[in-house]
């Protein structure tokens, strides 16, 4: 049996359904499996299955209060007919590495893998816990999370979703992905302000209107929910299974994973895969110019008091990586975790001990790459392999090359790896970032997202993903634009309808 506790309060003990409904634990901690040994699995049997079979095995371990029959049903509902690739997350040989394509879902970004699952898990947890309220999800987005959440929650019984995005602050494509879905439980609304205003506004709503209407309670879909993290563990098994099935590695060989990282959710899922028993070599934490995690994994010093850079890999532009708290809890223990998080809040920095750093460095390597290095990787790999990466994947690729050549910033590769192969996680379709990708290739831009996508298509010959091609001609359903102070009334009205 798996029990979840809070990273900030050992007295809290809940089963997975409750943890998924809550999102964050009371007092601000994150839910973690209390006994890491309890997630040990028969990995050899898991990797022999197809993606959905692997998902069922992994979910059954972490979400054991749902029951096998329910999990079967939820996995099918989450992945049936939603992904353009038969095996959901295909692995593609590129040069002397492998690229794990996580972007064949409805919005062409890797968040689809988890956000296809979370709404179904929440909806089922609601009935399991005798919870009769409808759940209204509130999300602030800088672009990608909003559309993936909308696709996940649309038409899921007992749930609704309101997404707030900055007016004029997202790309045309991102906006159309949010304003064209016509499900009755979906609302997308622009706010006059930037992303930080939207996020602060939503956080305030949770404090000010805990209960907007009789029969409705508010929740969030952000990446600290354990219901988003666990579905991401599955593709580490999937990558490994694909390498074994194709005879590239033998069962038991270790492989390295290179993960383009922002909030540390994706790479944390890799650590759980390792703890389940999967032969993972090193987890290379790839950052862009916002290199707070590179410094941390190199020196043990976490320091968010630094300049914030807007890069061409915007989903990795993060200075506080929330999911790192989970790793701290396992490596540094509950007391130090509480202390470090308090220091981070009060002073903006903390320093872990040498022993703790040593433990982390046994598995993690931190490397960063600049926009220019990422762009060079896009061009180099396309010229040599005719394979086009997006701007997030290319950061990971550039980091892999530094890691392999030993050319990383001093001290960032303290341990070698005996791994046979390296897998780069690819988190978005190049079509999603057409303009930046064309620039990296040295091509002229056309002036519109639609034109840029067409141009990428001419260059690669690869079809535009259906979810992106379709939206350009769809009617706009959600036209509201509001001021920040009006968010509260807006939510209450939507919940009372």
For ligand PLP, the binding residues (CB under 6 A) are 109-111, 144, 223, 260-266, 315-316, 392, 427-428
Beta-carbon neighbour count of residue 210 at 10 Å? Answer: 9
Please state, in angstroms and rounded to a whole number, the distance separating the CA atoms of residues 406 and 403.
5
Closest CB to ligand PLP among residues 4, 110: 110
Please state, in angstroms and rounded to a whole number, the distance separating the CA atoms of residues 268 and 293.
13
Least distance from C-beta 475 to ligand PLP, angstroms?
26
Least distance from C-beta 110 to ligand PLP, angstroms?
6
Least distance from C-beta 327 to ligand PLP, angstroms?
12
Closest CB to ligand PLP among residues 144, 450: 144
Closest CB to ligand PLP among residues 180, 263: 263
Closest CB to ligand PLP among residues 71, 148: 148
Q: How many residues in total does the chain contain?
A: 497
Least distance from C-beta 61 to ligand PLP, angstroms?
21
Question: In this structure, are residues 254 and 228 in contact, taking their beta carbons and an 8 Å threshold?
Answer: no
Helix, strand, coil content of the chain in percent (nearest 5): 45, 15, 35
Question: In this structure, are residues 40 and 151 in contact, taking their beta carbons and an 8 Å threshold?
Answer: no
| Structural tokens at position 424 | 């780069």
Q: What are phi and psi of 158, to 5 degrees?
A: 80, 5
| Structural tokens at position 247 | 């005879």
Least distance from C-beta 149 to ligand PLP, angstroms?
12
Least distance from C-beta 38 to ligand PLP, angstroms?
24
Closest CB to ligand PLP among residues 108, 187: 108
Closest CB to ligand PLP among residues 200, 322: 322
Question: In this structure, are residues 382 and 456 in contact, taking their beta carbons and an 8 Å threshold?
Answer: no
- Pseudo-torsion of CA 199, 183, 56, 128, nearest 10°? 80
Least distance from C-beta 128 to ligand PLP, angstroms?
27
Closest CB to ligand PLP among residues 321, 452: 321
Please state, in angstroms and rounded to a whole number, the distance separating the CA atoms of residues 405 and 92.
22
Please state, in angstroms and rounded to a whole number, the distance separating the CA atoms of residues 258 and 454.
30
Question: In this structure, are residues 378 and 437 in contact, taking their beta carbons and an 8 Å threshold?
Answer: yes
């Amino acid at each position: 049996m798996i029990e979840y506790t809070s990273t900030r309060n050992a007295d809290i003990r809940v089963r997975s359904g409750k943890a998924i409904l809550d999102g964050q634990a009371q007092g601000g901690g994150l839910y973690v499996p209390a006994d890491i040994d309890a997630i040990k699995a028969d990995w050899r049997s898991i990797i022999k299955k197809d993606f959905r079979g692997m998902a069922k095995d992994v979910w059954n371990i972490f979400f054991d209060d749902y029951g096998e029959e329910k999990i079967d049903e939820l996995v099918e509902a989450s992945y049936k007919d939603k992904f353009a690739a038969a095996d959901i997350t295909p692995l593609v040989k590129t040069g002397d590495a492998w690229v794990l394509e996580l972007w064949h879902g409805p919005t062409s970004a890797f968040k689809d893998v988890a956000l296809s699952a979370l709404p179904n898990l929440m909806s089922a947890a609601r009935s399991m816990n005798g919870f009769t309220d409808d759940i209204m999800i509130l999300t602030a987005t800088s672009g990608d999370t909003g559309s993936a959440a909308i696709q996940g929650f649309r038409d899921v019984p007992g749930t609704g979703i309101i997404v707030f995005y900055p007016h004029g602050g997202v790309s045309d494509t991102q906006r159309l992905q949010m304003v064209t879905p016509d499900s009755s439980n979906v609302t997308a609304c622009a706010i006059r302000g930037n992303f930080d205003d939207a996020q602060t506004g939503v956080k305030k709503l949770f404090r000010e209107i805990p209960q907007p209407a009789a029969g409705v309670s508010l929740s969030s879909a952000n990446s600290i929910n354990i219901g988003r993290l666990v579905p991401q563990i599955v593709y580490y098994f999937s990558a490994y299974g694909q390498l074994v099935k194709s005879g590239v590695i033998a069962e038991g060989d270790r492989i390295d994973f290179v993960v383009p990282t922002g909030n540390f959710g994706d790479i944390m899922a890799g650590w759980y895969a390792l703890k389940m028993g999967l032969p993972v070599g090193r987890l290379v934490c790839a950052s862009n110019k916002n290199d707070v995690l590179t410094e941390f994994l190199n020196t043990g010093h976490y320091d968010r008091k630094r300049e914030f850079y807007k890069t061409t890999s915007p989903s990795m532009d993060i200075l506080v990586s929330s999911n790192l708290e989970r790793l701290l809890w396992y490596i540094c223990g509950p007391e130090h975790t509480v202390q470090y998080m308090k220091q981070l809040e009060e002073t903006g920095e903390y320093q872990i001990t040498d022993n703790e750093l040593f433990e982390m460095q046994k598995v993690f390597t931190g490397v960063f790459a600049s926009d220019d290095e990422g762009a060079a990787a896009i061009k180099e790999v396309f010229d040599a392999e005719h394979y086009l990466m997006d701007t997030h994947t290319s950061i990971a690729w550039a980091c892999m090359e530094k890691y392999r050549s030993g050319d990383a910033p001093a001290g960032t590769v303290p341990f070698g790896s005996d791994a046979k192969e390296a897998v780069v996680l690819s988190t978005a379709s190049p079509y999603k970032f057409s303009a930046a990708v064309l620039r990296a290739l040295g091509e002229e831009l056309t002036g519109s997202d639609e034109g840029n996508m067409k141009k990428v298509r001419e260059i690669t010959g690869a079809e535009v993903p259906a979810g992106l091609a379709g939206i350009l001609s769809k009617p706009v359903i959600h036209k509201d634009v509001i001021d920040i102070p009006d968010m509260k009334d807006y939510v209450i009205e939507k919940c009372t309808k």
